[in-house]
A and B are shown apart, each in its own frame.
Chain A
Amino acid sequence: MMRRTAMAALLSHWRRRPMQLVMLLLGLSLATALWSGVQAINAEARASYDRAAATLGQDRLDRIVSGTGAPITQSDYIALRRAGWLVSPVVDGTLRLGQTRLNIIGIDPLTMPTEGLNADVARDGDLAAFLTPPGLLYLSPETADKLSGSALPPVKRTSSLPAGIGMTDIGVAQQLLGKPGEISQLIVAPGQRRDLRAIGEIAPTLVVKAPDARGDLARLTDSFHLNLTAFGFLAFAVGLFIVYSAIGLAFEQRRATFRTLRSLGLPASTLTGLLLAELVGFAIVAGVAGVLLGYLVGSILLPGVAATLQGLYGASVPGTLSLRPQWWASGLAIALFGTLAAAAQSLWRVWRMPLLAPAQPRAWARASESGLRLQAAAAATLFAATIALAGFGSGLVVGFSVLGGLLLGAALLLPVLLALFLALMQWLARHPIAQWFWADTRQQLPGLSLALMALLLALSANIGVGTMVSSFRLTFTGWLDQRLAAELYVTARSEPEAAALRGWLKGRVDAVLPIWSVSGDIADAPVEIYGVADDPTYRENWPLLARTPETWDRVANGAGALVNEQLSRRDGLEIGDSLMLPGGWTTTIAGVYSDYGNPLPQVMIGLDALTTHYPDVARLRYGIRLPPENVAAFSEALRARFDLPPENIVDQGSLKRRSLAVFEQTFSVTAALNVLTLGVAGLAMFASLMTLSTMRLPQLAPIWAMGLTRRQLVVLELARTLVLAVITLIAALPVGLGLAWVLLSVVNVEAFGWQLPMHVFPADWVRLAILALGASLLSALIPLRQLAATAPSDLLKVFANER
């Protein structure tokens, strides 16, 4: 009974201040939504990678692959089987069907170990149809829908395969992929006999790969998901500022009620328990709303993320979200965690509150000088730790820690800087109104500082990410111009067609540049090796980051290789270092080139060296140099002569547009999160101003009584909001640029392996400034309208001691 009565008294506060309750729930819901939306996307993508990794039991079974980058030969396979090795052949490759890419996996169900065979594929009644022409192609329902109407073998739907993967018989796959007789890998059955000859003795070019629980895709995309998580967390933190502010105010406003309840005999532990129960209730309500909102956010962002993952990493992630129980649980848990983290200080104060403490209705808003000094010391410590971390640490987590340290330190420092600035302005002011304006703004600062800190975080993130993306765009566009120098790119469908194409092109164009590559491993990590023709196109255009005068000569005569920046950074390789390539031969590094957007390490060697060391290299792709005005007519002639599908003849412009689209897509999610974060910061500002406006009358009424009109007071209040927003904006500029520097020089290098030059874009800052000031004005509009409309009778209540 006692508890129920006390709870009713505590809850009555929210009935009287519904707006405060709305702000608390809204802040918490938004914070949870942005966080859980991002987590939902990550979870969906990771589930897809896991399914991809488990498709052939790679997460449990050993695999045999070629150590030279060339396919495994039939003779090696037969030799292994004859020697008693239980291995099953697999061919894989990518099939482009219009705008969709399908990863085809061809298996032999008769030799495939049970652990490697998908639960639904080629089972029971389907086995005969699977093995006999025209075969069966297993696809996920989503992929099957996307590819309906394509020229494929009969399709069978199964939900056990991930999106973007098609599984069929090895013979059918070899035909579909144009790889007759080719084997990409061999799956090793568990429980092999112990007396077998070593694989290295039977087939020296083959190597065994241990099971990989995570898969290459999960590793490759780690940095992308960490990036998303970091921005999701930033949005969550900004949302928590609203929650912290709302809870702090509600606790402070109920101080008298707390004291009354305590003096009426309610123990401190019961009071704290009741407040905790109230908060848990709010957290559950806001958590459920946040998870649902997060589902919406995730659903809106996921197609963009899926397109990015496809474009950047070739990863197929379904474009729709599925509701997972663990996601509900984690959404509610983060809401609860956020609420308790935001309320911890307030709850502690209630727990420790002396029964006879004098009422200090605005004590929460009065930051003492010692408090600010403490904040400045904390910021200085954080900055020092951040600098030390940036100087001596390495790794992506360190990169994000540096970002976090920078942002948190700046946020802590902001109220200190504002207080100093306002004190200086008050000291300089001569007119009494100006003096009052600065002094009063200083007094409002503690009540507004959390919202301003949130605004600083959002603005800094916007400037930082904006600078990074714009710098990247500028560099990437120039780089694309260098990299895609050929006017036309042609892919033949088969080796005979490629030979015919080469013959036909001779004498018809300025130059033919083969784009031939093999895949292999360097130090157990996948690498691509390209052959490059000795042509002025490369000598004049290729974007080299490190070179010597002999670079191209050394590559042309087979004495040297170029490595991309990713590989150079990963293995600490420089010009003159030697490099062991798949197949066991060694070359010397002659230069380093930039290779933005490629997640894999890459090596370029002379064309002759490529065909000598990897004679089985596919010779299907070509870049063609010809006068730009002839491209259209020449493409038409090529199409007419070889009957090539449109996707096999791509002009430079289309390729650039496609690359730029992938690029823009990559950052669209970050940009969306940024805008949402700014929105949340605007809401935090609105919540704080609304809160303060309810307490402003006692401070404004005496000024009004001494001869200022309400209109003048409104103008001054508006000026106050703008001044604080402008100073925050100015403070956000160096923080944002620092953030951009960390993103470009630390995080990108760790995440993607490339460093970008930083460019500044003042026009973007002006746009952001207008947006931020607009948001501040908007957030101040309702409180100001309320002030302008305040009746004299309400102002008089201040003097009549009715408040």
Chain B
Amino acid sequence: MPLPPLSDRTETLVVLQGVSKSYGTAEGPLMVLQAIDLTLDAGQSLALTGESGSGKSTLLHLVAGLDHPDDGRIMVDGQEIGGLDDKGRASLRRSTVGLVFQQFNLIPSLTVAANLAFHARLAGRFDAAWQRQLTERLGLDHLLARYPEQLSGGQQQRVAIGRTLAARPKLVLADEPTGNLDEATGDAVMALMLSLVAETGSSLLMVTHSDRLARRLDRRIHLRSGCIDATTVPTA
């Protein structure tokens, strides 16, 4: 599919052009991503699937501005990440992007309530009413005074999702968000996340191993050895 010029893509939230990334290893450089082209429109959801080591998480990290590509251009919400310094990238993560990790990565020293509000307050978008609504929808209202270590895995993941969505980011990046949960809990958490993402109007880029979960998103891209597989198809 030919890629339109970056400047014309006003409804497009994420654009990747010829993005490559390698890591140095003891055996020499390891190519993780090779010349990736990809777009994600505002409000759209996209599943990234592939084998372990195919470069899914790396791609997600590059879009989040957590890492630099060796080659190519990445544009998020009209800003080219390559042109941003450390401070600019931090600002992008704070205001535009929300991250949900497989390991939850909650802040252990803060209560559930403080964890939920943390990113929204950091981004200057804290909305008490929305937070209350989120808390209820996520079934966390009776856990607000607890600390992360006092929660089950499913509860922790719900807090992580709530923390991201409380900030209403334009782009939600999720890396195997249900990878640590059993199937039933994972399904329930995923249903909740998708519905909330839809309500906030955010775009979602999600890494997953699960075909079943991938099918629930608008589009799906399969990565194989750092390249986009030709068999990639829209799911909708």
Contact = CB atoms under 8 A, between A and B. Distances in A.
A698 to B, nearest CB: 8
A703 B107 CA distance: 8
Given A707-B90, A707-B91, A443 B109 contact: yes
B70 interface: no
Given A709-B86, A711-B86, A796 B67 contact: yes
Contacts of B110: 435-436, 439
- The CB with the most chain A CB atoms within 10 A, among B23, B64, B107, B121, is that of B107
Contacts of A432: 114, 117-118, 121-122
Nearest to B179: A801
B61 A796 contact: yes
B107 A699 contact: yes
Nearest to B176: A801
B33 interface: no
B89 to A, nearest CB: 8
A796 B67 CA distance: 8
B107 A709 contact: no
Contact of B105 (A439, A701, A711): A701
Nearest to B164: A706
A360 to B, nearest CB: 9
Contacts of A431: 121
Contacts of B117: 432
4 A-B pairs closest in CB distance: A707-B94, A439-B109, A443-B109, A702-B105
A269 interface: no
Contact of A709 (B66, B90, B175): B90
A433 B107 CA distance: 12
B98 to A, nearest CB: 9
A795 B121 contact: no
A435 B114 contact: yes
A711 B123 CA distance: 18
Contacts of B175: 799
B95 A707 contact: yes
Interface string B71-111: 00000000000000011001111110001011101111110
Interface string A662-706: 000000000000000000000000000000000000110111111
A793 interface: yes
A710 interface: yes
B109 A705 contact: no
A11 interface: no
B57 interface: yes
Contact of B102 (A433, A439, A442, A801): A801
B170 interface: no
Interface string A260-285: 00000000000000000000000000
A793 B61 CA distance: 10
Interface in B168-184: 175
B90 A702 contact: no
Contact of B123 (A435, A698, A707, A799): A707
B122 A705 contact: no
B227 to A, nearest CB: 20
Interface of A: 431-433, 435-436, 439-440, 442-443, 698-699, 701-712, 792-793, 795-796, 798-801
A799 B105 contact: yes
A705 B105 contact: yes
A706 B93 contact: yes
Nearest to B102: A801
Given A432-B118, A699-B107, 15 more contacts: A432-B117, A435-B110, A436-B107, A436-B109, A436-B118, A439-B110, A440-B109, A701-B105, A704-B90, A705-B66, A705-B93, A707-B123, A709-B90, A796-B61, A798-B103
B68 interface: yes
B119 interface: yes
A440 to B, nearest CB: 5
A792 B68 contact: yes
A757 B87 CA distance: 58
Given A436-B107, A705-B99, A799 B67 contact: no
Nearest to B105: A702
B161 to A, nearest CB: 14
Contacts of B68: 792
Interface of B: 23, 57, 61, 64, 66-68, 86-87, 90-95, 99, 101-103, 105-110, 114, 117-119, 121-123, 175
Contacts of B94: 706-708
Contacts of A707: 90-95, 119, 122-123
A432 B102 CA distance: 24
19 contacts: A433-B122, A436-B107, A439-B107, A443-B108, A443-B109, A698-B105, A699-B108, A702-B107, A707-B92, A707-B94, A707-B95, A707-B122, A707-B123, A709-B90, A792-B68, A799-B101, A799-B102, A799-B105, A801-B103
A747 to B, nearest CB: 43
A702 B119 CA distance: 10
Given A433-B122, A699-B108, A799 B103 contact: yes
A699 B108 CA distance: 8
Nearest to A702: B105
Contacts of A711: 86
Contacts of B93: 705-707
Nearest to B111: A439
B105 A440 contact: no
A796 B101 CA distance: 11
A801 B87 CA distance: 26
Contacts of A796: 61, 66-67
Contacts of A442: 109
B114 A702 contact: no
B23 A706 contact: no
B133 to A, nearest CB: 20
Contacts of A801: 102-103
B23 A793 contact: yes
Contacts of B107: 436, 439-440, 699, 702-703
B118 A710 contact: no
A1 B118 CA distance: 54
A792 B66 contact: yes
Contacts of B123: 707
A442 B114 CA distance: 15
B23 A708 contact: no
B122 A795 contact: no
A325 to B, nearest CB: 52
A800 B23 CA distance: 14
B108 A706 contact: no
The interface centre, meaning the residue of A435, A704, A708 with most chain B CB atoms within 10 A of its CB, is A435
A795 B67 CA distance: 10
Nearest to A437: B109
Contacts of A710: 86
Contact of B57 (A439, A705, A799): A799
Contacts of B66: 705, 792, 795-796, 799
A18 B66 CA distance: 31
Nearest to A362: B108
A439 B109 CA distance: 5
B114 A439 contact: yes
B90 A708 contact: yes
A431 B114 CA distance: 11
A314 B119 CA distance: 73
B66 to A, nearest CB: 6
A542 B110 CA distance: 67
B118 A706 contact: yes
Contacts of B108: 443, 699
A704 B105 CA distance: 11
A353 B66 CA distance: 40
A431 B122 CA distance: 8
Contacts of A702: 101, 105-107
Residue picked from B57, B68, B110, most chain A C-beta under 10 Å: B110
Contacts of B64: 705
Contacts of A440: 107, 109
Contact of B122 (A699, A701, A706, A793): A706
Interface centre among B92, B117, B118 (most CB of A within 10 A): B118
A266 to B, nearest CB: 30
